[in-house]
Structure 1
Amino acid sequence: MTCATTPAILRLSNPSSSTKQFDRVMRRWRWLMPDSRRMNAFDRYNFLLPLIGYLMRNPETTLSAVASHFGVDEVFVREALTTLMSTATYKDFDRTYYMFDVEKLDDEGIISVWQGDVIEDAPRLSARQASALAAGLSIMSTLPEFSSEHEIAELLEILSEGTTESGPAAIHYRPGPIDSDVAVIRKAMLNNHRIECVYRNIRGETSTRQIDPLRLDTRGNIWFLRGYCLIHKELRNFRLDHMGSAVELEVEICDEAKKIQDIDDAEYQSSETDITVTVEVDPEAYSMLGDFSAQIIKEDRKSNVITASIKIGYLPYLGKVIAHYGGAARVLEPASARQVVRNYALTALGLEPEGLPEQD
């Protein structure tokens, strides 16, 4: 792994204090750690950051202690140590910043830090890095299991006290609120267990579902669970604000869920019974194309207007989707879809909706 250095334009005003607060928060983070067998490249990189901090404070420790501290297996820790020993910078390729006693590690399972020059300095962050940290901490503070953690507020205050050369460092981002069900879901994900919950779909129908949870995401101010639906036998998105009474089942997720490697970031997952709708969108509504995994039909390079097709499983839902973009998205066909959007607008204006034409 090769890491580029970033110009240090922010210094934390009290490095020792921030290290203590960081350690407290990371002890809680350990519980949120995804299964190492299912970690992607970003998860593995993010694991290296707290690992460096841990080894800085514990230069002589055991492999089993590190694995236990972070809730991962020893093989995964060994792989991370190998990565650290090959870390360099663009400016200094021939220098190794992290060295460990390999014989002690192999023979006795002891991690002994020989060299760690780069982690001895006080933390220095760019404005972008500090903003990313502040945004992440803000999101953590909205989670039920962190709602009473004063250490997060103290860390945010420490970040805001840093001096920068390019404007304020901290950008606070807060997605919509979620309830305690998310703690149940996350625990089930860590245990590779199935969940059961009461769920209300976009038609307003309520049913009890069993879902194999795979990932939690936010889109705007809405939280989603990406999970394998046992009813439809495929990957689906479930809104957390439509979910209730979640419980973890002592049942391992199915083999089909385990085989899912790449999860589409699209908000809506299409199926064979969906209706194809042709839309025209301005740049302000481009995000809709990603949300619905749109197929581009044509693009006007002068006006930047894109014509594309999207899949809709429940046509009455389309009116709300199009209205969200305030005129930047328009339905071209079929006629039934255009009428749904028109009726939605009429209802919003307090007028009587019109009859729907025959679906084509």
Structure 2
Amino acid sequence: MTTSGTPSTTARSTSTGAAESKTGREKTPALGASDRVTLYLALVPYLLQNSPVSVAEAASRFHVSPADMRDLVGKLSNLGIPGSEGYYLPNDLFEINFDLFEDNDIIDLLSAVGIVATPKFSGTEAATLVAGLQFISGIVAAEERASVATLIEKIGLGASAKPSSIFVATPEPPACFDLLRTAFSQNRQVRFHYQNARGAAEMRSVSPLRLDLVGDTWYLRGWCHLRDALRTFRLDRIDEMVVTDRQISPEDHALTLPEALFDVRETDLAVVVRLAEEALPLIAEYHPDVHSAASGGQVLATILFAHLTNLSRLVARYPGIVQVIEPPEAIRAVAEYAREARARYV
């Protein structure tokens, strides 16, 4: 059945394709070898999940013409995995119900080879990937969300078990997020007011190079033309951003960004803090150096700060969780910050 079915299918595909051309329908580009391989890798799992399915529905699902889909299915019966002797026997090939295929334009995959032994994601692994993609879906451009949704669907279909239902809430992007997306896509510099850790505001012109999300805080990394150096900016401290007409230079694109979000300088102050070991993920963005254990499940860690205002904000962000141990000037800075904050409400 495999051998006799293939020639008639090919002839049918040719005549149907010609008919479609005569009706004035838009012709789809011819499929190359790499396109066919990619389609087969996705088509077989789809048919295993959805057979029987009409040629028209399968063609629409994979964005190919019905003629191309008939040609793909017709050749599928010649594909498989050779047996132990190196020969292709009937059980080593894919089997299609050619009577249903030729008479009713319905694809029914009767047997598949090599699929059962193919490694698949577990339900937990698939759920983890889906959670990550849900997060990404919340920050990509609207026109790209359909592609993410399709990928989520494919992961679910290819898992060995149904992924657990997980909903991931994406933090609301800052107001300047869409402007930065435009700057990246158009290769243009941005200009904005930036409030630094000391509260001083300056106008900055920056060649944006990368966005980083740490915890729930977004950072822009790029070449600052005011400082003539690489700098990292918190998006929640950026105001009045505009996308300029100046292009990002090839020299800026060629810059190598360090792995660390912030540069370590000789003038940075080493501050020792104490907190519960399970609370360490809360301060991961500060790259703490955990060096000893304290009593009651507490740990001591050293964090480098360029400005003590950042330390005070960290402690205020996690009151009762992060305790400053030394040096004395760090303790005084946090205490003064707390007094000033309290005075605003008295």
TM value normalised by structure 1: 0.52
1:286 and 2:286 equivalent? no
1:126 and 2:119 equivalent? no
Kindly indicate whether the alpha-carbon contact (under 8 Å) linking 2:139 and 2:170 is maintained by their aligned counterparts in 1: no
The CA deviation string for residues 182-234 of structure 1, in whole angstroms up to 9 with x for no partner, is 34424444565433223222333322212222221212222211223333344
Kindly indicate whether the alpha-carbon contact (under 8 Å) linking 1:12 and 1:161 is maintained by their aligned counterparts in 2: no
For 2:311, give the aligned amino acid.
L
Residues 342/137 of structure 1: CA separation in 2 closer, same or farther (3 Å cut): same
Q: What residue is the counterpart of 2:328 in the other structure?
A: 335
For 2:276, give the aligned amino acid.
D
Kindly indicate whether the alpha-carbon contact (under 8 Å) linking 2:123 and 2:159 is maintained by their aligned counterparts in 1: no
Kindly indicate whether the alpha-carbon contact (under 8 Å) linking 1:346 and 1:352 is maintained by their aligned counterparts in 2: no
1:118 and 1:169 map into 2 onto residues whose CA distance is 29
Residues 141/312 of structure 1: CA separation in 2 closer, same or farther (3 Å cut): same
1:178 and 2:174 equivalent? yes
Deviation at 1:305, TM superposition (A): 4.1
Kindly indicate whether the alpha-carbon contact (under 8 Å) linking 1:141 and 1:147 is maintained by their aligned counterparts in 2: no
Kindly indicate whether the alpha-carbon contact (under 8 Å) linking 1:202 and 1:314 is maintained by their aligned counterparts in 2: yes
Residues 240/215 of structure 1: CA separation in 2 closer, same or farther (3 Å cut): same
Deviation at 1:315, TM superposition (A): 1.7
Residues 168/209 of structure 1: CA separation in 2 closer, same or farther (3 Å cut): same
Kindly indicate whether the alpha-carbon contact (under 8 Å) linking 1:295 and 1:308 is maintained by their aligned counterparts in 2: yes
Residues 248/204 of structure 1: CA separation in 2 closer, same or farther (3 Å cut): same
1:339 and 1:352 map into 2 onto residues whose CA distance is 21
2:336 and 2:61 map into 1 onto residues whose CA distance is 54
Alignment of 1:1-360 (within 5 A): 125-143=121-139, 145-146=141-142, 165=161, 168-179=164-175, 181-189=176-184, 193-243=188-238, 244-253=240-249, 255=251, 258-264=254-260, 266=261, 268-287=262-281, 290-296=284-290, 298-300=291-293, 305-346=298-339
Deviation at 1:249, TM superposition (A): 4.0
Kindly indicate whether the alpha-carbon contact (under 8 Å) linking 1:21 and 1:155 is maintained by their aligned counterparts in 2: no
Q: What are structure 2's unaligned runs of at least 5 residues?
A: 1-46, 73-112
1:231 and 1:127 map into 2 onto residues whose CA distance is 50
Kindly indicate whether the alpha-carbon contact (under 8 Å) linking 1:12 and 1:158 is maintained by their aligned counterparts in 2: no
2:162 and 2:147 map into 1 onto residues whose CA distance is 26
1:20 and 1:278 map into 2 onto residues whose CA distance is 61
Kindly indicate whether the alpha-carbon contact (under 8 Å) linking 1:128 and 1:169 is maintained by their aligned counterparts in 2: no
Q: Name the SS of the counterpart of 2:141 in structure 1.
A: helix
In percent, how many aligned pairs have the same letter? 27
Q: Name the SS of the counterpart of 1:202 in structure 2.
A: coil
Residues 222/351 of structure 1: CA separation in 2 closer, same or farther (3 Å cut): closer
Kindly indicate whether the alpha-carbon contact (under 8 Å) linking 2:135 and 2:169 is maintained by their aligned counterparts in 1: yes
Residues 262/270 of structure 1: CA separation in 2 closer, same or farther (3 Å cut): closer
Q: How many aligned positions are there?
A: 250
Residues 137/300 of structure 1: CA separation in 2 closer, same or farther (3 Å cut): closer
1:221 and 1:352 map into 2 onto residues whose CA distance is 27
2:179 and 2:60 map into 1 onto residues whose CA distance is 28
For 1:339, give the aligned amino acid.
R
Q: Name the SS of the counterpart of 1:338 in structure 2.
A: helix
The CA deviation string for residues 287-333 of structure 1, in whole angstroms up to 9 with x for no partner, is 3664234445x312876644343222332332220233343322122
Deviation at 1:338, TM superposition (A): 0.9
Q: Name the SS of the counterpart of 2:189 in structure 1.
A: strand
1:12 and 1:208 map into 2 onto residues whose CA distance is 59
Deviation at 1:284, TM superposition (A): 3.1
Q: What are structure 1's unaligned runs of at least 5 residues?
A: 1-10, 24-55, 61-116, 354-360
TM value normalised by structure 2: 0.54
Deviation at 1:162, TM superposition (A): 9.3
Q: What residue is the counterpart of 1:65 in the other structure?
A: none
For 1:251, give the aligned amino acid.
Q
Residues 272/195 of structure 1: CA separation in 2 closer, same or farther (3 Å cut): farther
